[in-house]
Chain A
Amino acid sequence: MSTPDGFLLVLMLTAPVVGLLIAFVLGGRNAERVALLTMPVGLIIAVTIAVALWRSDAALVYVLGGWAPPLGIVLRADGLSAAMLVTVAVVICATGLFARAEFRTPEAVPEARAPFSFWILLLSVWAAMNMVFLGGDLFNLYVALELLTFAAVPLVCLDGRAETFRAALRYLVFALFGSLLYLLGVALLYGAYGTLDIAMLAAVVRPEPVTWVAGALMTVGLLAKTALFPLHLWLPPAHAGAPAPASAVLSALVVKGSFFILVRLWFDVMPAVPGEAGAQLLGALGAAAILVSSVVALRQARLKLLIAYSTLAQIGYLFLMFPLAFDTGSGQLVSGVALTGGMLQAISHATAKAAMFMTAGLMYQALGHDRIAELGGVARALPMTVFAFGLAGVSLIGLPPSGGFLAKWLLLTAAVGGGQWWWVAVILIGGLLSAGYIFKVLAQAVGAPNVALTLRAPVPRHREAIALVLALLSVLLGLVALGPIDLLQIARPGLALVHSQ
């Protein structure tokens, strides 16, 4: 049944929803105000959930409506959920504060299109992400995925240009393709096992043809939404074309949603089904993503595109987790060091990438363009911004003590421990390549300009500060190894089963 503090999960879900409904009705300038008011509330709830989880060392469960599965739906928070909830809340709050200057309703009009849409879509992304982390039912997760897509796509083309409309439509087509494949798998799983509750499925799932087909379909669908090689072509134009705060949310958070559901599927629902071959295949795709995307990133002429390709590469690291978590003895995926490493990679990338897109946005606003070759002199003009970019880069490359370092260290440990040496090479080469493209940008920024640099528009200090704080966060994230990292492993495995009477 529901745990006593399970109601917190309901609050976590409904806070952004209530916020967006009120923002929608009040409209105009109030949409921004309501959004900014909702953010600290949501952050407090997320932290409370993490603390409650830490204290009780067991999952938080809430049975919605009192109807227990398989008939009803359950909300469930384990260590992974709590860590992601806090991460998302932090990034959303930072993005909200950062975006204030860019999405302010002008004085002359009661309501403007871009600001109104931005604040409501931002809250919707948050609501959807929370549902993804807390949902204990596979169809509920489908609806959450759709909400995430419908909120993210309009953010891509918020500036109303033809290229961004095109990128948004391509994104939507890929995303809908992914959702339908996922739904197909859900249909098969229900047909085979009569339930969609994650914990119940975990207890009854067997490696048989129906499960393989369902698992394969759902995985391909989720890979399309997570933009893993080779289903990644939609991401660079979409993330690069969006306004900077939107890019931050898209790269840092939205792609992690479908990834999280994939983790739930493979680690919780059917750990014994994919087998070593399946796990190695996912790892191979991840390695391809890391190597190919990093090389392409090196060759980019525009900063936002470089950062978008960097996202593709960092997503690749997430998928190395799968073969590294495979235990040949039991023939299934286990929740151990590799899982912690992979999730930490997701969290540190979220903060680092959000900071990076924010700095790119600031540089663009200051210079009027984002051509890397012409970034000379920016370091002198915007030292805090370039420093933030550098710090975020530190985390992406994986230098100590950053979260990126700890994540890659854990993955390396798992690789060496499991005797899978080939992944070691991939991780190290990936790190070198990221260093390559980060330093390429820094070298240009720090260098002297060809012509004297005049800033198009002044860059407010507080915006730089927000990016810097996020980047610092990603760099200091490695220090969680000293304690809080165990949060990720709370209530794993052995999910709390909720039986109907």
Chain B
Amino acid sequence: MSWTLALEAGLAALVLGVAVWTLSVRQTFAAVVAFVVYGLALTLVWVRLSALDVALTEAAIGSGLTGVLLLGAAARLRATEADAVAERPGAGVRAAAAALAALVALALAAAVLYLPEPAHTLAPAAMAELPATGMRNAVTGVLMAYRAADTLLEKVVVLISLIGVWSLAQDKLWGGRPGLLHHADPDGALAFLARRLPPVGIVAGIYIAWLGADQPGGAFPGGTIIAAMWLLAMMAGVTDAPPISRRWLRLVLVAGPAVFLAVGFSGFFTAGAFLAYPVAYAKALIVVIEVGMVLTIAATLGLLMAGPPERSDKP
């Protein structure tokens, strides 16, 4: 067994161990902390799998934002722990669930072991068509060109999930500002960070988004970093969440899918098909779409974290 394989086995064991810990630890808050570690360990696995774009997205969204979201929820739900303990299913149910889970895991393991050799792959096709898209990062090529409809649809999915979150608000608070007002000590560390970090973070986010055309990166990790900066500022009380009824906020939230649709429709006339790009302008058009996407992703993810309106906007 070579060095790298041994290290990877160790990494896999770490991921597995943390996953088991997440499942079995009593306190939900501790389980969420374990989950964040799980996410970070998974990020390393993605790096080992030569999927750097995925690693970036997993770190930012999968463990970063998801972790913060779940930590906040666990803290607010501490009072419900006792009831949950009382509701734990009996040994029979647990045995049945374990048997089912084991069966599925075994079937999957067998499927993995019996995957065909040589492996089917679309890598050569993706690389062959890449020059026509103006991109040099094949994953971005897939996201923004070959399977652009998936990305467009996914932008709508995320917007709808935000509207769903908003719809859960109380009637009288509709139109107001999401989240509880945070009062951080203006001289404290959090406020200090919240003033210094966002400008750097926003530039980093834009850079990563821009970089995605040729290197690992792209609109998703880039937009997430900007969302994280906004959240930091909101949590420290440096800025406040906007009321959800503001027209400019709504325009920012639809910018991504709207620009995507507009470019898509223009493809009918310039390149013969919906979501097609004329070769000469492909990169420029994709950049335009990504600008819209970064704006929307940053705003949508930030607002998904902030939750439904909880403060009325009326004086």
Which residues in A have some Cβ–Cβ distance to B below 8 Å? 2, 7, 10, 14, 17-18, 20-21, 24-25, 27, 62-67, 70-73, 109-114, 116-117, 120-121, 124, 127, 131, 139-140, 143-144, 146-147, 150-151, 153-154, 157-158, 160, 165, 184, 188, 190-195, 209-210, 213-214, 216-217, 500
Contacts and interface: CB of A to CB of B under 8 A. Distances in A.
Given A140-B153, A192-B111, A216-B107, 12 more contacts: A7-B274, A17-B257, A21-B258, A63-B273, A110-B245, A114-B171, A140-B149, A153-B164, A154-B164, A158-B167, A191-B120, A209-B110
Interface of B: 104, 107-108, 110-112, 114-116, 119-122, 125-126, 129, 145-150, 153-154, 156-157, 159-161, 163-164, 166-171, 174-175, 245, 247, 250-251, 253-254, 257-258, 261, 265, 267-268, 271-277
Contact of A213 (B111, B250, B267, B271): B111
A109 B272 CA distance: 46
A209 B274 contact: no
B267 A65 contact: yes
Given A154-B163, A209-B114, A73 B261 contact: no
B157 A65 contact: no
Contacts of A111: 174-175, 245
Contact of B115 (A109, A139, A143, A192): A192
Contacts of A193: 120
A26 to B, nearest CB: 9
Nearest to B125: A71
B134 to A, nearest CB: 14
A454 to B, nearest CB: 28
Contacts of B169: 113
25 contacts: A7-B268, A7-B274, A17-B156, A25-B254, A27-B247, A62-B273, A64-B275, A65-B148, A65-B274, A66-B276, A70-B122, A71-B129, A72-B146, A72-B147, A73-B146, A73-B147, A121-B163, A139-B150, A154-B163, A154-B168, A188-B108, A191-B120, A192-B120, A210-B114, A213-B108
Contacts of A113: 166-167, 169, 171, 174
A35 to B, nearest CB: 13
A10 B273 CA distance: 10
A17 B268 contact: no
A400 to B, nearest CB: 41
Contacts of A195: 120
A124 B160 contact: yes
Given A65-B276, A143-B154, A214-B111, A24 B126 contact: no
A66 B115 CA distance: 30
B88 to A, nearest CB: 17
B167 A121 contact: yes
Of A64, A154, A158, chain B has the most CB atoms within 10 Å of the CB of: A64
Of B111, B161, B247, chain A has the most CB atoms within 10 Å of the CB of: B111
Given A62-B274, A66-B273, A209-B114, A24 B174 contact: no
- Interface of A, helix, strand, loop or mixed by DSSP: helix
Nearest to A73: B149
Contacts of A140: 147, 149-150, 153
Nearest to A146: B157
B122 A143 contact: no
Contact of B146 (A10, A65, A127): A65
Contacts of B272: 66
B170 A160 contact: yes
A112 B125 contact: no
A327 B110 CA distance: 30
A147 B159 CA distance: 10
Contacts of B153: 131, 140, 143-144, 147
A182 B174 CA distance: 36
Contacts of B159: 24
Given A112-B174, A191-B115, A10 B274 contact: yes
A24 B125 contact: no
Nearest to B151: A143
B32 to A, nearest CB: 18
Contacts of B164: 117, 121, 150-151, 153-154
A67 B267 CA distance: 13
A112 B273 CA distance: 39
A63 B271 CA distance: 13
Contacts of B170: 160
Contacts of B129: 67, 71
A66 B276 CA distance: 6
B163 A117 contact: yes
Nearest to A154: B164
B254 to A, nearest CB: 5
Contacts of A10: 274
A110 B246 CA distance: 12
A72 B119 CA distance: 19
Contact of A25 (B125, B145, B247): B247
A144 B149 CA distance: 11
Nearest to A112: B174
A169 to B, nearest CB: 11
Nearest to B163: A120
A24 B253 contact: yes
A65 B276 CA distance: 4
